[in-house]
Amino acid sequence: MSSATLYDKVWALHQVAELPSGATQLFIGLHLIHEVTSPQAFAALNDLGLTVRHPERTVATVDHIVPTTSQARPFADPLAEEMLTTLERNCHENGISLNGLGSGRQGIVHVMAPELGLTQPGMTVVCGDSHTSTHGAFGAIAFGIGTSQVRDVLASQSLALNKLKVRRIWVDGSLPPGVYAKDLVLHIIRTLGVKGGVGHAYEFAGPAVAALSMEERMTVCNMAIEGGARCGYVNPDDTTFAYLKGRPHAPTGEAWERAVQWWQSLASGPDAVFDDEVRFDATAIAPTVTWGITPGQGIGVDEAVPTLEQTPEEDRPLAQEAYRYMELQPGQSIAGLPVDVCFIGSCTNGRLSDLRAAALVADGRQVAAGIKAFVVPGSEQVAAAAEAEGLDAVFRAAGFEWREPGCSMCLAMNPDRLEGRQISASSSNRNFKGRQGSASGRTLLMSPAMVAAAAVAGHVTDVRTLLPA
Amino acid sequence: MTTAPFPAGSIVQVHGRAVVLRGNDIDTDRIIPARFLKCVTFDGLGAQVFADDRSEQQGLHPFDRPEYQGASVLVVNRNFGCGSSREHAPQALLRWGIRVVLGESFAEIFYGNCLALGIPCLQASSTDIDQIQQAAEASCDSQLSISLDPAAVELAGQRWELQLASDAQKMLTSGQWDATRQLLSKDQELTATAARLPYMQRFAAG
Which chain B residue shows the shortest CA-CA distance from A319?
B24
Tell me if B143 sits within 8 A of B99, measured CB to CB: no
Specify the CATH number for the domain of residue A89: 3.30.499.10
- Over residues B90-119, the pLDDT tens digits come to 999 999 999 999 999 999 999 999 999 999
- Over residues A170-220, the pLDDT tens digits come to 999 999 999 999 999 999 999 999 999 999 999 999 999 999 999 999 999
Check whether residue A268 and residue A357 sit in a common domain. Answer: no
Check whether residue A116 and residue A217 sit in a common domain. Answer: no
CATH superfamily of B13-165: Aconitase, domain 4 (3.20.19.10)
How many structural domains compose chain A?
3
- The Cα B9–Cα B171 span in angstroms is 10
Residue B74: phi, psi to the nearest 5?
-95, 125
- Over residues A264-299, the pLDDT tens digits come to 999 999 999 999 999 999 999 999 999 999 999 999
- Residue extents of the structural domains in chain B: 13-165
pTM of this structure: 0.97
pLDDT grade for B205, boundaries at 50, 70 and 90: confident
A243 inside domain: no
pLDDT of residue B167: 93
What number is the average pLDDT over the span A119-132? Answer: 98
> Distances in Å between the alpha carbon of A438 and those of A453, A459, B39, B162?
24, 20, 19, 38
Cβ-Cβ contacts under 8 Å between A and B: the total is 220
CA-based max dimension of chain B:
69
Strands A276-281 and A165-172: parallel
pLDDT of residue B140: 86
- Over residues A61-70, the pLDDT tens digits come to 999 999 999 9
Query: Chain B residues with CB inside 8 Å of A251's CB?
Result: 202-203
- Of the candidates A343, A347, A342, the one whose C-alpha atom is nearest the C-alpha of residue A107 is A347
Judged on CB neighbours under 10 Å (0-12, 13-18, 19+), A425 is buried
Is B27 close to A432, i.e. CB distance below 8 A?
yes
Check whether residue A137 and residue A214 sit in a common domain. Answer: no
Q: Which residues contact A126 (CB under 8 A, 6 or more apart)?
A: A28, A30, A31, A32, A132, A142, A143, A144, A145, A149, A153, A159
pLDDT of residue B2: 53
Q: How many CB atoms lie within 10 A of CB A278?
A: 15
Query: Which three-class secondary structure string do you get for A303-365?
Result: CECCCCCCCCHHHHHHHHHHHHHHCCCCCCECCCCECCEEEECHHHHCCHHHHHHHHHHHCCC
User: What is the percent of chain B where pLDDT is above 90?
Assistant: 94
Does the pLDDT of residue A248 top 90, yes or no?
yes
Domain that holds residue A93: 6-161
CA dihedral A150, A155, A157, A161 (to 10 degrees): -60
**What is the per-residue burial (b if ≥16 Cβ within 10 Å, else e) of A172-190?**
eeebeebbbbbbbbbbbbb
pLDDT grade for A141, boundaries at 50, 70 and 90: very high
pLDDT grade for B4, boundaries at 50, 70 and 90: confident
Residue B125 corresponds to which amino acid?
S
- Over residues A370-387, the pLDDT tens digits come to 999 999 999 999 999 999
User: What is the percent of chain A where pLDDT is above 70?
Assistant: 100
Is B24 close to A129, i.e. CB distance below 8 A?
no
Please identify, among A108, A130, A161, the residue that sits at the C-terminal boundary of a domain.
Answer: A161
- Over residues A94-112, the pLDDT tens digits come to 999 999 999 999 999 999 9
Check whether residue A296 and residue A442 sit in a common domain. Answer: yes
Strands B144-148 and B13-16: antiparallel
Please identify, among A126, A141, A161, the residue that sits at the C-terminal boundary of a domain.
Answer: A161
Tell me if B129 sits within 8 A of B104, measured CB to CB: yes
- The Cα B51–Cα B28 span in angstroms is 12
Interface of B with A in 110-169 (CB under 8 A): 112-113, 116-117, 126, 165-168
pLDDT of residue A468: 84
What number is the average pLDDT over the span A15-34? Answer: 96
Does the pLDDT of residue A258 top 50, yes or no?
yes
Judged on CB neighbours under 10 Å (0-12, 13-18, 19+), A447 is buried
Query: Chain A residues with CB inside 8 Å of B206's CB?
Result: none
A118 inside domain: yes
| Interface-testing mutation among A432, A435, A438, A440, with chain B (most B C-beta atoms within 10 A) | A432
Query: Chain B residues with CB inside 8 Å of A27's CB?
Result: 190, 193-194, 197
Does the pLDDT of residue B26 top 70, yes or no?
yes
Which chain B residue shows the shortest CA-CA distance from A160?
B179
Query: Chain B residues with CB inside 8 Å of A157's CB?
Result: 190, 194
CA distance A469 to chain B (A): 38
Is A120 close to B24, i.e. CB distance below 8 A?
no
Q: Which of B56, B184, B205 sits opposite A155 (nearest CB)?
A: B184
A111 inside domain: yes
Q: Which residues contact A35 (CB under 8 A, 6 or more apart)?
A: A62, A63, A64, A65, A83, A84, A86, A87
- The Cα A151–Cα A433 span in angstroms is 30
Helix (H) or strand (E) holding A17: strand A15-18
- The Cα A300–Cα A176 span in angstroms is 13
Check whether residue A23 and residue A118 sit in a common domain. Answer: yes
Is B193 close to A15, i.e. CB distance below 8 A?
yes
- Over residues A404-437, the pLDDT tens digits come to 999 999 999 999 999 999 999 999 999 999 999 9
* Chain A touched by B197 (CB under 8 Å): yes
pLDDT grade for B1, boundaries at 50, 70 and 90: very low
